[in-house]
Structure 1
Amino acid sequence: MSPTVIKRDGSVANLDLNEIRDAIAYAIEGYPLNSLELESRVNLQLNQPRTTRFIQETLVNTAVQLATPKDPEWLNVAGRLHIWNWTHEVIAKRGYGYGHYDVFSDTNLFSKYTSQLKIYSQRDLQEAVSWIEPELDKVFDHAGATLLTQRYLSDDELIQEVFLVTALVLAIPERMDERMSYARAFYMAIAHRKISLATPILANLRFEGGSGTSCFILSVEDSIESIFDNVKNTARISQEGGGVGINLSRIRAVGSWVRSKPNVSGGLMSWIRILNDTAIAVNQGGRRAGAVTVAADIWHLDIPEFLEMRSEAGDQRRKAYDVFPQVVVTDNFMRRVEQGATWTLVDPYEVKQVLGIDLPNLWGTEFDDAYEQIEEAASMGDLTLAQTVNARNLFIDILETQVETGLPYIAFKDALNRANPNKHIGIIPSVNLCCESFSVVVPGKLAHSCNLASVNLAQVEDDELPEICQLAVRLLDNTIDVTTAPIGEARNHNRELRTIGVGVLGLADYLAKRGLRYQDKREIRELFKEFSYQCLMGSVLLAKERGSYPAINSSEYGMGNILGKSRSQRPEWKALYDLFDFYGIRNSHIMAIAPNTSSSLIQGCTASVLPPYAKFNAESLGKGDVMKAVPFLREYGDNYQENQRIDQRVVVDAIAEMQKWVDTGISMELVFNLNPDVYEPNKTVDASDIYDTALRAWRRGLKAIYYIRTVKEDRLSEVDGCGDSCTL
C-alpha cells in the first residue's frame, strides 16, 4: 500500500515523491550543493500517514543538519524550505498567494489594514501590489526565515506583503504627488535588504494605533506619584514592544528620611523590584517579556547594593533578575579611578535638603564644583548619609560584576552630555536599553523616544550609500508622524526634538569583502565620515522641505554647529553647511548604531559594527538555538575576524573612530577570551586587561559599554540579554 499524506486542507492522498523533489529543487537552485544529499538523509518514517507540515519540517531540519563551515549554504536551503512551507500554509488558510490580488473586492490583501491605508485609492493599491517581488522570499537563511515567521508575520501574511504594507504606511506623510514614488522606494529598500527596520516599525505600524518607536528613557522624581506614574509608563511602553530605560538617581537611598522620619526609606531596590515585576507581567505585544534598564549615578549611596541585584548571594527579596542595571559614571569619578583616590557615596535627598543641590541634574564642571562642596559637607559631618570608598576598588567591583553577569552597562555621563545638542533644554541622564540611543529627558515633560532603522552595509554598494542613508532618514522622520506614542511625554519629545536613529549593520561583511580588518582605522573612519555626512544631509534636506525641529533655537544647531563643530572646523563639508545655514536641520539626533542581533538574521549579514563572535555557530532565538554562518563564508571566510579571537583594544579603537561621526551612541559589547595563547603566545587575559580596556573606552571618548562577556574553554558566557529589544 502506498504511503499517504494528510494535506493542508485535511484531505488524504497518496504521497507523491516528485512534490518533495520539486520543493528540494526550488530550495537548492543556485547553490553548489547536491540535492541527493538531502534526499538520501531525509527520514520521513512513512509507516503511518504524515501531514504535509511534518514532511516540510523534516526537510528543513535535515537541511540544517547538513550545514557545515564547508557547505554553509544548506542553511539557506533550510530557509527556503521553511518559507515554502509557510507560504503554502497561508495559501491554504486564505485561498490565494502572491499575484492573486483584487483590491476592488471587499475581501483583499489590504482589507485588514483599511484604517491605516485609507489615504490610498484602490488604483494606488493596485499599482502597489505590482511592485511585489516574490523571488525575494528566497534570500533568507534558516535563522532569518524562522525569526520572520515567529515574530513578525500573522498566520495569514506573506513576507513581501508585510514589507509592502509597512512601506505604504511609512509613505503616508509624503506629499500626494510624491507618496507612491516614496512608497515604492521604501519597499524596494526594505525588500532588497538595504534598509533594516526596527521591530516596532515592522511589527506594529501596519496595524491601527501601533507604535513604531523602539527606545524610551524616563527619569523619575523622588515622589510616590512620579514613581508610580513611571511604573505605569513602563507598562504602556512595554505593551507596545518598546525598550525602557529609567533613571532612578533622584530616589532617596536606604535609611533616608520619609515624612521627616529617619531610617525609613527602602532605597532604590524597593522600587526596582516593582519595575522588575512589571517587566515580567507586561510582555511586548505577546512577543517576549518586557525589557527594562534601570540606571543609577555612581555617587548614589545605594550603588553597592545596586551592583548586586543580579547576584545569587544576599537577601533574595532585594534582587531583580529581569531588569538590566546600568551605572552612570562621571569624568570626575574616572579620574579618581586612575588615581586610586577616594569617592563619596551620598543620598540625593539629603544633599538636596541640606545643600540645595540637585545632583542628578549636573555634569561637567558644574558637577565637579558641586561635588567638592558635597564632600566638604560630608567631611564636616553635615551629611549623615555618606560613605567614603576607594574609586578604583568600586570600579573594579563594577567590572567584576560585569564579568560574572554581563552587567551593569556603563554610561559615561560627561561624554553623553558634551555631545548633547539640546543643552538649553536639559541633560541626558543615562542611556537606553542597548546603550546607543539617548537624548534630553525632563521628568514629567519629555521622555526620550527614538525610532530606529539601519543601513545594511553588506548589501549596499558604495555608490548607493548616499541615496540609502538619506532614504533611511526620511523613512524614520515619517515614522514620527505615523506612530502612536504610548505616553504623553514621548509625544512631547517626538514633537519638539524629532529624534531618530539611523544605524548600520554588516560592517564585518563590508570589511571582509574588501580585504580590510578592524585595525584599518583610516578606512573605517572614512566610511563613517561618509555615512555621517549623508545622514546629516538627509536631515538638512528634510528641513528645507518640512522645516527644522521646533526646539532648534538656542541649541548647538541653532548656534551653527554640526556634531559640535562649526563650519570653520570642517571645511570639507561646505555643501552641507551651505544648506544647513539657511534651512537648519530636521532632527535633533540622527544616528545611533544598535546591536541589531535579531535584525541581522533577517538581513543576512553580521550584526551591527562588531566582528561576529564566530564564523559558524549557534544563535539563541526565542524558542531555541538556530545555526548561523557569516553570509560570505565560502567567498571571504578567511577575511572575517572573530570577536572571540580579536584583542578588544582593537574593537575599542575601531568604535572610537566611528563614534567621532555618530551624534548619538554605538552599542559596544566586549568579549574577552580567557583561554591561553588566543591573542598572542604565552599570554592569557586577566582582570588587569579588562580594567585597562574599560579605561581605554572612557579615554577614547566612548559614551557607553554594553555587555562584557567572557569565553572560557571555547564557551561564551551566558548573558540573559535584552533580546535586541530596542531594535527588535
Structure 2
Amino acid sequence: MQATAVSSSNLRPGIAESGVLTTTDYPLPLAYSGLEVIRRNRSVVAFQPEKIAIAITKAFLAVEGQHGVNSSRIREQVAQLTASVVEALTRRLPGGGTVHIEDIQDQVELALMRSGAHDVARAYVLYREKHAEQRTAETSAADIVPSLQVEVDGQRQPLESLALQDVCREACAGLTDVDAELVWTQTRQNLYDGIPLTAVRQALVLAARTLIEREPDYAKVAARLLLSHLRLEVLGLAVNQAAMAERYADSLGEFIAAGIAAELLDPRLKDFDLPRLGQALLAERDLQFDYLGLQTLYDRYFLHIDGRRIELPQCFFMRVAMGLALNEIDREARAIEFYRLLSSFDFMCSTPTLFNSGTRHPQLSSCYLTTVSDDLDGIYQGIKENALLQKYAGGLGNDWTPVRALGSRIKGTNGHSQGVIPFLKVVNDTAVAVNQGGKRKGAVCAYLENWHLDFEEFLDLRKNTGDERRRCHDMNTAAWVSDLFMQRVEENGQWTLFSPVDVPDLHDKFGPDFAAAYVHHEAKAERGEIRQYKQIGAVQLWRKMLTMLFETGHPWITFKDACNLRSPQQHVGVVHGSNLCTEITLNTSADETAVCNLGSVNLPAHLSERDGNWQLDADKLQRTINTAMRMLDNVIDINFYATPKARNANLRHRPVGLGLMGFADCLQRMGLAYASDEAVTFADRSAELLCYYAYQASTELAEQRGRYSSFTGSLWQQGVLPLDTLDSLAEARGGLLETDRGAHLDWDRLRQRISQIGMRNSNCVAIAPTATIANIVGVSASIEPIYQNLYVKSNLSGEFTVVNAALVRELKALDLWDEVMVADLKYFDGSLAAIERIPEPTKARYATAFEVEADWLIEAAARRQKWIDQSQSLNLYVAGASGKQLDHLYRLAWRRGLKTTYYLRTLAATAMEKTAGDDAPTRACSITDPDCEACQ
C-alpha cells in the first residue's frame, strides 16, 4: 500500500470530536502520575495519555480510512500502541518528571515501526515533518524566550547559557560531523522556566541522544555530557576535561575514604599507596565511552551512597584493579597493570567482578554449576544454595537428572514421588524472589538428561498453557543429550525413558560406557526387571524438543558426550550440565559446586593495519591475555564463596573462562561478510591464538605459583590438548564427526611445556555472551552477528539508539549517508537488503543476524570449538524457521562437534509478512530475555 501523507484536511474533524471514536475505547495504563509535558512554547502541562491514542488513531485514519479505523482490529492495535508508548515514557522516568512533546512523538513513531504498521508510521513521519516546517517558517525572534530561571537548592537563578554552551563545545571537541550549536538548540527545546539545574544537565544528554541516528559520534557527545553531569554529582562542582588530569589524582583517595566509611569498600584498600595509584589514572580515557556504555555504568555499576554516585570512571576501573591485586606482592604495580588493561578497553572483567571487586562482599564469579541429589534434604539444600549464590550476582546451572521421576517409589515412606517438575517450580520462584543483589534479574537454568522419565513434561515447562503449578516462566531449561540418542535419531530408532532411581549409574557415565550401560538397562526393562520406563521413537522425541524450542525458546540443546570426552578433567568427575549461558563445562557432584570466573578480550582492539590490510596483532594479544589470565586466577583466591562446596571446588581445580567480544566488528573492519569462508577462517585463527596464549599463560602462572591441585591425571598432564580430544570424540562416535583439524601455531612445543611444568587452571577458555560488558566497551557482543544496523535497544538503563558506526563510515565514503538513508534504515528495521542504492558487497558485509544463514554460525563455531577447553554461547538466528530446517541445524551442530548451543532466535510470525521487494522483513525477536542483544 502506498503511504499517504496526513494532511490537515484529514485531521480537521478530530476523531474524538467527531463522535466516531473516543478515548474511552482504549484501556490506558495508569502508572503515569508525576509526568508532565513540555509544549513547544515551553509551557508545562499535565501528561494526558489519551491524546496519544487520538494521535495514533488519526495516523491510522490517514492510511486506513474511516471504515478501517472503526474495525476492532485497529481499535485493539491503537490501544496496544498507546500502552507501549506510555510504558516507554514511564520506564524512562519512573519517579515522574518532564518530557518534551517531541520525545512523545518519537516514541509514537517508534511504536508504529515496531508493530509493523510501517505505512502508518510513514504517514505519521510525513505529518510531523510538514508541521515542523510550518512552525519554522512561522517562528520569529519574538517567539524566543530571552532568558530562563533555573532552580538550585530551592532558589531561582538565571540560566547560565554561555557556560552550558561551553560544555556542549567541549563535548564535541575532536569529533567530526557533530555540531555543538545543534546540541544546544535541541536542548533549549526541553527547557522551561523554573526547571531544576539537574534537569538541565539531563536535557543536554537527551538532546545529544536524539541525534545519534544521524551521526554515530553523537553517542560520544552524549557520553561526555553525561560525564560532565557525573563529575558534578561526584565532586560537587563542575570540572572540565583539562582539569580532570590533576583532579583525578586527588579524587581516588577521597573516593576510597568515602567508600570505606559507608561500609561499601574493603578497608584493605586504604593500605595501598593511593597517591601513586591516583597519579596513574588517565583522565583522557574517559573520552573513550559511547553513551550506552557510560550510562550503563552510571545506572548499574558505579557505587553510590543514598543514590548519589561516589565513583568516577577511572576510579571505578582502579577500584576493580585494586580488588584483584589485594594478594599480589607488589600490589601497586599489579593494580596499575590491571587498571591500564581495563581502562584501555582491551579486556573487560565480567559483570560480577565489576560489581563487587574491592567491596566488602567480593563475589566476583559469574557462573555456578550444581548437581541436586535425590533426597529431600539435598533438593532443598540445592534450592537454598541457589538463593545464596544468586544474591551476589551469580548465574546458575542446576543438574536435576538424579532426582527420581514422577511415580517412583519412595522407600522411606512407601509413597510415590511427585517427580522433578514441582521442585523446579520452587526453583523458578526462588530466582524471582532473590534477584542479583538488586542490580539485575535472578537467572537460573535447569538441565535434565533426555532419558529421564520426566523429560517430556520438562519440555513443557515454558509453555503458556496447562497447569500453572507445573510451569516455570522465569527460568531457563536445557536438554543434556547423549551421542547415543543422536545416533538413534539418525537411525530412526527407539528411545527409552527411565527413572534415575532405577538406573543410577547412567548419570555418571558418558561415551561408550554410557551407551553400553543404557543398552543393558533397556534389556533389563524388556525382561521386566525394571518396571517404570517408557519407550518412544527417538525421532518423535527429537521433534518434540525442536518444537518446544521453536515455540518457547527452550530447552536449549547441549551435548553431553562432546562436553565429557573433550574435558581435561575426566579423571576427577563428570560434566553433568552447563551454566546459564551454556559456555561453561565443568565437573559437578553432590560434593562440588563448579565455579567459573569470566572476562573477555576486546578483539577489535587487537587489530592492526599493515599495507592496507587488517590483521590480529599477535604480540599485543599475548600481552593482554597474560595479564587477563593473572587477573582471572586472582579472582579464585579473593572471591567470596557463599557455600563451602563452591569454595572447595574452585580452589581445587581453579578454572577460569577467558572469552572474546567484538567478532562481528572485526569482520566489518576487515571487509569480510559473516557468511563467508574467510570469516570462518578468521574464527578459526582468532580462537587458536586466544586459546594458545591462554594455555601458555596458565603454564607460566603454574611456574610462578604452582599447579592446580587436581592436575595429576588430567589430559593436560598426559599431553592431550583440546585439539587432540577430537580424535577421542570421533572414535567414540564411530567416525560421526565432521570438523576441520588444521593448526598454525607450535602446539607440540606448548604440549611439551604443559606436561613438564603443569597448568595453574584446570580450564582456561569459555566464550560468554558479553551482552553488558560489550555495551560498556562499545563493541558487538561476543561472537554474534550484528543484530541490526540501526535500532533502539531497551534494557534496565532505558532506551538507546544504536547505529552501526562502521556502516555509516562506509556509506559516507560512498556519499550515501543522508536523511533519506536514515529514514530507510528506520523503515527497514536496520536492514540494507531492500535499499536499492546500496551496493551488493556492502549489503553482504553488513547483513543482519536473520539475513545470515545459520549454517555459517555453526561452521564458525565449530572452528572455534576445536581449540576451546570449555564451550561458547552460540545463538542461532533463523528467519522463517521450519521443522526441517531446525532438524538440519541441530544435527549439523552435533556432527560438527559443538558442545552446546544457546538460544534459538526466530522471527515473529507477523515479521514474515514483508518481503524484500517494496518492503523488508521486520527484525523482531520472538524471545524476550534480559541477556538478549536484540531484546535489551
TM value normalised by structure 2? 0.72
SS at match of 1:360: helix
**1:433 aligns to what?**
580
CA-CA distance at 1:492 after TM superposition: 0.8
SS at match of 1:21: helix
Tell me which of 131, 153, 161 is aligned to 2:280: 131
Alignment of 1:211-226 (within 5 A): 211-226=363-378
Alignment of 1:35-54 (within 5 A): 35-44=180-189, 46-54=191-199
**1:528 aligns to what?**
687
- Is 1:4 the counterpart of 2:149? The answer is yes
Tell me which of 891, 895, 906 is aligned to 1:699: 895
- Is 1:558 the counterpart of 2:754? The answer is no
Which amino acid in 1 is paired with 2:532?
L
SS at match of 1:20: helix
Which structure 2 residue ranges, 5 or more long, are not aligned? Answer: 1-145, 304-308, 608-616, 728-740, 812-841, 912-921
**1:304 aligns to what?**
456
Q: 8 Å contact 2:399–2:447 — kept in the other structure?
A: yes
Partners of 1:722 and 1:59 in 2: CA distance: 29
CA shift in 2, pair 1:131/1:250, >3 Å: same
Alignment of 1:378-417 (within 5 A): 378-417=525-564
SS at match of 1:218: strand
Partners of 2:382 and 2:178 in 1: CA distance: 55
Alignment of 1:466-505 (within 5 A): 466-505=622-661
- Is 1:447 the counterpart of 2:593? The answer is yes
CA-CA distance at 1:109 after TM superposition: 3.4
CA shift in 2, pair 1:190/1:380, >3 Å: same
CA-CA distance at 1:142 after TM superposition: 2.2
Q: 8 Å contact 1:131–1:184 — kept in the other structure?
A: yes
**2:320 aligns to what?**
166
CA-CA distance at 1:42 after TM superposition: 3.0
- Is 1:709 the counterpart of 2:853? The answer is no
CA shift in 2, pair 1:388/1:263, >3 Å: farther
SS at match of 1:230: helix
Partners of 2:271 and 2:931 in 1: CA distance: 39
Q: 8 Å contact 2:720–2:751 — kept in the other structure?
A: no
Which amino acid in 2 is paired with 1:431?
S
Q: 8 Å contact 2:296–2:797 — kept in the other structure?
A: no
SS at match of 2:445: strand
CA shift in 2, pair 1:128/1:106, >3 Å: closer
Which amino acid in 1 is paired with 2:681?
R
Tell me which of 629, 648, 657 is aligned to 2:854: 648
**2:780 aligns to what?**
606
**2:268 aligns to what?**
118
The range that moved more, 159-168 or 628-637, is: 628-637
Q: 8 Å contact 1:102–1:108 — kept in the other structure?
A: no
CA shift in 2, pair 1:104/1:141, >3 Å: closer
Identity, % of aligned pairs?
30
Which structure 1 residue ranges, 5 or more long, are not aligned? Answer: 353-357, 675-684
Which amino acid in 1 is paired with 2:715?
E
SS at match of 2:409: coil
Which amino acid in 1 is paired with 2:623?
E
**1:80 aligns to what?**
224
Which amino acid in 2 is paired with 1:701?
G
CA shift in 2, pair 1:723/1:157, >3 Å: same
RMSD between superposed Cα atoms in Å:
2.6
Alignment of 1:108-507 (within 5 A): 109-113=256-260, 116=266, 118=268, 121=271, 124-154=273-303, 155-176=309-330, 179-259=331-411, 264-352=416-504, 358-443=505-590, 445-461=591-607, 462=617, 463-507=619-663
CA-CA distance at 1:717 after TM superposition: 2.4
The range that moved more, 227-236 or 18-27, is: 18-27
CA-CA distance at 1:111 after TM superposition: 4.8
**2:817 aligns to what?**
none
CA-CA distance at 1:209 after TM superposition: 2.6
Q: 8 Å contact 2:723–2:867 — kept in the other structure?
A: no
Which amino acid in 2 is paired with 1:118?
R
SS at match of 1:617: strand
Tell me which of 133, 157, 170 is aligned to 1:13: 157
Instruction: Please list the CA deviations of residues 4-53 of structure 1 after superposition, one character each: whole Å capped at 9, or x if unmatched.
Output: 1123x554320011122122212222132223332333344544311122
Runs of 4 or more above 4 Å deviation: 43-47, 93-98, 101-108, 119-122, 260-263, 568-571
CA shift in 2, pair 1:10/1:701, >3 Å: farther
Instruction: Please list the CA deviations of residues 175-226 of structure 1 after superposition, one character each: whole Å capped at 9, or x if unmatched.
Output: 23xx322211211110110111101111011201321000000001100111
Partners of 1:145 and 1:417 in 2: CA distance: 40
SS at match of 2:502: helix
CA-CA distance at 1:150 after TM superposition: 1.2
Which amino acid in 1 is paired with 2:796?
G
State the number of aligned residues: 705
- Is 1:673 the counterpart of 2:879? The answer is yes
Partners of 1:429 and 1:326 in 2: CA distance: 11
**2:203 aligns to what?**
58
Partners of 1:688 and 1:242 in 2: CA distance: 37
Which amino acid in 1 is paired with 2:182?
E
Q: 8 Å contact 1:549–1:587 — kept in the other structure?
A: yes
**2:792 aligns to what?**
618
CA-CA distance at 1:689 after TM superposition: 1.2
CA-CA distance at 1:642 after TM superposition: 1.9
Which amino acid in 2 is paired with 1:161?
C
Which amino acid in 2 is paired with 1:423?
Q
Which amino acid in 1 is paired with 2:233?
E
**1:677 aligns to what?**
none
Q: 8 Å contact 1:605–1:631 — kept in the other structure?
A: no
CA-CA distance at 1:655 after TM superposition: 0.7
CA shift in 2, pair 1:53/1:31, >3 Å: farther
Instruction: Please list the CA deviations of residues 334-392 of structure 1 after superposition, one character each: whole Å capped at 9, or x if unmatched.
Output: 1111222111111111334xxxxx22111111110111111112222332221111111
SS at match of 1:458: helix
Q: 8 Å contact 1:600–1:606 — kept in the other structure?
A: yes
The range that moved more, 501-510 or 258-267, is: 258-267
CA shift in 2, pair 1:724/1:617, >3 Å: closer
CA shift in 2, pair 1:185/1:649, >3 Å: same
CA shift in 2, pair 1:343/1:108, >3 Å: closer
Tell me which of 756, 759, 767 is aligned to 1:593: 767
Partners of 1:104 and 1:370 in 2: CA distance: 65
CA-CA distance at 1:623 after TM superposition: 4.7
Which amino acid in 2 is paired with 1:622?
L
- Is 1:719 the counterpart of 2:927? The answer is yes
Partners of 2:670 and 2:222 in 1: CA distance: 28
Instruction: Please list the CA deviations of residues 314-342 of structure 1 after superposition, one character each: whole Å capped at 9, or x if unmatched.
Output: 11111111110111000001111122211
Q: 8 Å contact 2:593–2:645 — kept in the other structure?
A: yes
Partners of 2:768 and 2:184 in 1: CA distance: 41
SS at match of 1:173: coil
CA-CA distance at 1:171 after TM superposition: 1.7
SS at match of 1:454: strand
Instruction: Please list the CA deviations of residues 637-670 of structure 1 after superposition, one character each: whole Å capped at 9, or x if unmatched.
Output: 7433421210000110001101111110100001
Partners of 1:106 and 1:181 in 2: CA distance: 17
Partners of 2:256 and 2:329 in 1: CA distance: 24
TM value normalised by structure 1? 0.92
Partners of 1:120 and 1:590 in 2: CA distance: 32
CA shift in 2, pair 1:340/1:85, >3 Å: same
